[in-house]
């Protein structure tokens, strides 16, 4: 039932950030509300193979161009990209 609904209405969903140019940033923005008393836990540095680095670069460039993300400075707090291989052998980036 859900699948048939989604297929019938595929054109009303945003499939990429550039599909939503008219949505005000204030409607979709979120921020990290950090407790100033809590110490962040530093994750280990992860190194990526060249194809994964390229997938990350492409996705970050796309999100920057669409205005969905912006560069911020959090010297002790960083999100680690998590890559998932799709069925068509492309990489999809999530944030851990």
The string of DSSP codes covering 38-88 is SPPPPPPP----HHHHHHHHHHHHHHHHHTS------TT--PPEEEEE-TT
In a domain, 83, yes or no: yes
Q: Which domain holds residue 66?
A: 46-96
Q: Is residue 56 part of a domain?
A: yes
Answer whether 90's CB lies under 8 Å from 84's CB: no
Q: Which residues does residue 94 pair with via DSSP β-bridges, in sequence order?
A: 82
Looking at the 3D structure of the chain, how many domains does it have? 1
pLDDT at residue 7, as a whole number: 85
Q: How many residues does the chain have?
A: 96
Summarize the confidence of residues 7-24 as an average pLDDT.
78
Q: In the predicted model, what is the mean pLDDT of residues 15-29?
A: 72
Residue 50: per-residue pLDDT: 92
**Mean pLDDT score across all residues of the chain:** 79
Can you give the pTM of this predicted structure? 0.53
CA geometry: angle at 65 spanning 18 and 34, to 5°?
100
Q: For residue range 37-82, list pLDDT tens digits in order.
A: 887 777 777 888 998 899 989 988 988 888 777 777 766 666 678 8
Higher pLDDT, 85 or 44: 85
Q: Is residue 15 part of a domain?
A: no
CA angle, 50 then 56 then 58, to 5° = 105
């Amino acid at each position: 039932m859900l699948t048939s609904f989604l297929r019938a209405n595929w054109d009303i969903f945003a499939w990429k950030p550039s599909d939503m140019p008219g949505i005000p940033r204030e409607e979709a923005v979120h921020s990290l509300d950090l407790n100033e008393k809590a110490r962040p836990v530093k994750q280990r540095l992860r190194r990526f193979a060249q194809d994964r680095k390229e997938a990350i670069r492409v996705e970050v460039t796309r999100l920057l161009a669409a205005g969905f993300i912006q560069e911020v400075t959090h010297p002790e707090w960083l999100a680690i990209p998590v890559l998932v291989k799709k069925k068509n052998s492309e990489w999809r980036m999530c944030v851990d």
